[in-house]
Amino acid sequence: MATTTCGYEPIRSGDVILFYINRDGLPLSDRCTDRMWTFCMEQYPKNALQIKSIRDRVSEYPSIAYGDPPYNVAPNPRLTVQEKLQQIQTYVQRLEYNYTGMQFFDLNANRPISGLMDTARHIMTESLPIKCFEAFLIAIYLTTGIIGLERFNISFKTRFNSIVYRHIVLGVKYGQIYGGLGLSRRTDLAYKPLNGKYERLSTLIDDYVQAYKNYGHTVLRIRIGLPIIHDLKSYLTINWNAITIHPNKTDRIDYERELDKIVRVWRQMSIYASYRSNVSLASVVQPTGNIVTAASLPNRLQSLSFRSNREASFNCRRSAVKKTATTTDDSHATDRDQSLPCAIRV
């Protein structure tokens, strides 16, 4: 991302400025505040006087009290998974969508999960209006620890009136049921309840694609990543692009087959992660950014085998990898830094 000396940076689609990103931190600096209000007037010139009147009266408005984030929802045994996701989605919606034209938080998707979760805590502390990516990070944070829940990104690239837009939601899978968490201007482009309606990943994706069509958007690209580890302090990065589909260029049957294929890949990965049942399967996958398109991928995973002399393998690696803490029993060894004798790569 290019650096800026004016405190904010425009995000463009061609020659059109979609919004600005605040680079000065919080509280919002005077120059970012001025740019935010000026941009609003530029977007709605017919309402300039009304916008100016609202700005002049900002100090008169009462402060808004927000409830605490539902930090304790994930480990609560009295709630079903569907109820937990509903409470998390309700909290995200209470923060409201950011229509100001100024993104308040400086986000970097390439940071490790630990850094992204620090940003998520900051967002929840400030309780400012947010957009889809901030909602995505909050959803990851609050769903961490829900046993049996797999989380993955679903990223959309669409076009409307020659302007390209991007959107992201957190896809979730519990058992054989799919759903989604997120925030959007349109309700049907965000939350998808875990109510049994989506028994296949392709059904969930088709629902989003149809919603975009209803609003006149052409879906150019959809990217789906690998499952995200349930560890707020992990130094792994999120694999954003395990599979890419182009609904406007690909027959529906073909891309549904690709979506079902990535689910089979997850299942194969789960088999080889069983010896570390206390760690999410994503923790044994190094982010590579490769696109899953070859039909032989499950066979590649089946061909992997673990080293028979596991203890000797760890001894060989101790001289090169600094371990934090190791516990050993009769069957296996577990390292908190997630150094593995065998890495599964996709």
Compute the radius of gyration of the chain from its Cα atoms: 22
| Last residue of one domain, picked from the residues 13, 44, 63 | 63
C-alpha span between 100 and 106 (Å, rounded): 15
Grouping H, G, I as helix, E, B as strand and the rest as coil, residue 336 is coil
Give bridge partners of residue 223 from the DSSP assignment. Answer: 155, 244
Do 133 and 235 sit in the same domain of this protein? yes
Note whether 99 and 238 are same-domain residues.
yes
Which pLDDT score is estimated for 270?
59
Of 16, 40, 63, the residue at which a domain comes to its end is 63
Q: Are 198 and 207 in contact (CB under 8 A)?
A: yes
215 and 180: one domain?
yes
CB 98 within 8 A of CB 131: yes
**Does one domain contain both 88 and 219?**
yes
Q: Over the stretch 22-75, which tens digit does the pLDDT of each residue have?
A: 999 999 999 999 999 999 999 999 999 999 998 998 888 888 777 789 999 999
What pLDDT is attached to residue 5? 65
Helical residues (DSSP H) of 70-197, grouped into ranges: 81-95, 113-126, 132-143
Question: CA distances (Å), 174 to each of 87, 140, 149, 227, in order?
Answer: 16, 15, 5, 12
**What local confidence, expressed as pLDDT, does residue 194 receive?**
93
Q: Which residues are catalytic?
A: 132, 167, 184
Tokens 């049957």 -> residue: 253
Indicate if 54 and 93 belong to the same structural domain: no
Asked if residues 104 and 128 have their Cβ atoms less than 8 Å apart, the reply is yes
- Is there a single domain that holds both residue 336 and residue 291? no
Q: 168 and 220 share a domain?
A: yes
How much is the pLDDT for 65? 76
Number of domains in the chain: 3
Q: Collapse the DSSP code of 274 into the 3-class scheme (helix H, G, I; strand E, B; otherwise coil) and give the result.
A: helix
Q: Are residues 202 and 318 in the same domain?
A: no
> 40 with 101: CB under 8 angstroms?
yes
- pLDDT for the residue numbered 3: 54
36 and 139 both lie in a single domain? no
State the CATH number of the domain containing residue 132.
3.10.620
Over the chain (346 residues), the average pLDDT of each successive run of 10 is: 72 91 92 93 91 87 82 93 96 94 94 96 95 97 94 96 95 94 95 94 94 95 93 93 88 84 76 38 35 33 32 36 36 35 28
CA angle 321, 119, 241 (to 5 degrees): 65
Same domain, 11 and 123: no
User: What pLDDT, on the 0 to 100 scale, is given for residue 4?
Assistant: 62
Which structural domain range is residue 39 located in? 1-63
Residue 247 makes CB contacts below 8 A (sequence gap 6+) with 209, 219, 222, 255
Residue 2: per-residue pLDDT: 53
User: Which string of b and e fits 197-214 if b means at least 16 CB within 10 Å?
Assistant: ebeebbebbbbbbebbee
**Which of 63, 90, 108 represents a domain boundary (last residue)?**
63
What is the dihedral sign for C-alpha 93, 98, 104, 107? positive
Residue 191 and residue 212 in one domain: yes
3-state secondary structure (DSSP) of residue 149: strand
Q: Residue 90's closest CA among 176, 181, 177? A: 181
Same domain, 19 and 133: no
| The pLDDT value given to residue 311 | 37
**What pLDDT, on a 0 to 100 scale, did the predictor assign at position 254?**
84
